[in-house]
Amino acid sequence: MRIVACLLATAPVVAQAGTSTATLSVSIVITASCTINPATLIFAPTAGTTLITTAVNGSSTVSVTCTGGSPYSIAMDNGANASGSQRRMNSGANFLNYNLYVDAAHTLPWSTAIDSTTCTTAGDCFLGTGNGAAQTINIYGVVPTTATAPPPGTYTDTVTMTITF
C-alpha cells in the first residue's frame, strides 16, 4: 500500500474590509442680538429764582453691545412728562422743557423713530453697526432759556431708549 502524503500549501486568508464614505454637515445659527445699558443725564444745578437766560447743556453716554456686523438703531421716546413732542422734566406740578440731541452741536434732535424704516439717517436717531464689543453712544441734552423763573425743585423725567436690530 502506498501512502501518499499530500501537503496542501495554504496561504493565509486575508479578509478585506470594504470602505464607504459619508459627509458630516456642521452648522450653527448666529442670531443678531443687542443690549443697551441704562444711562443718566444730569444738568448742572441752576438758580431757580431767576430766568434761565443761557441754555443749560448736559451730556451722557450709553453702552451698546451688538453682534458683529449687525446694524442697529437707537430711538428715545418723549419721556413720561412730554407735552406733545416737547420733552419735559417735572418737579411736582412744575415742568421744565428740555431737548435731546444726537450731536454735540445740538443740531440733530433725537427723535422717537424706532426702526430702520423710520430711522434712516443719523439726524432721526442713532444708527450704528455692532462689532461684538461695547460701543459708547453720546447723548446731548439742552434745557433752553425760560420766559419765567422755574420754581426750585429737583426736576426729573424718564425716557425709554429702544434699540432695534
- Alpha carbons 8 and 10: distance in angstroms, whole number: 6
Tell me the three state secondary structure of residue 56.
Answer: strand
| Residue at 23 is within a domain | no
Q: What confidence score (pLDDT) does residue 114 get?
A: 61
> For residue 141, what is the enclosing H or E element?
strand 134-143
| Residue at 67 is within a domain | yes
Q: For 75-107, what is each residue's pLDDT tens digit?
A: 888 999 999 989 999 999 999 999 999 899 999
Domain holding 62, by residue range, is 35-164
| Residue at 18 is within a domain | no
| Residue at 99 is within a domain | yes
> How is residue 41 written as a grid cell?
443725564
- Alpha carbons 57 and 147: distance in angstroms, whole number: 18
| Residue at 20 is within a domain | no
Specify the number of domains making up the chain.
Answer: 1
Give pTM, 2 decimals.
0.78
Distance between first and last Cα of the chain: 102
| Cβ-contact 106, 142 below 8 angstroms | yes
Q: For 20-78, what is each residue's pLDDT tens digit?
A: 999 999 999 888 899 999 899 999 887 666 778 889 999 999 999 999 999 988 888 89
Arithmetic mean of pLDDT, 148-152: 88
| Residue at 111 is within a domain | yes
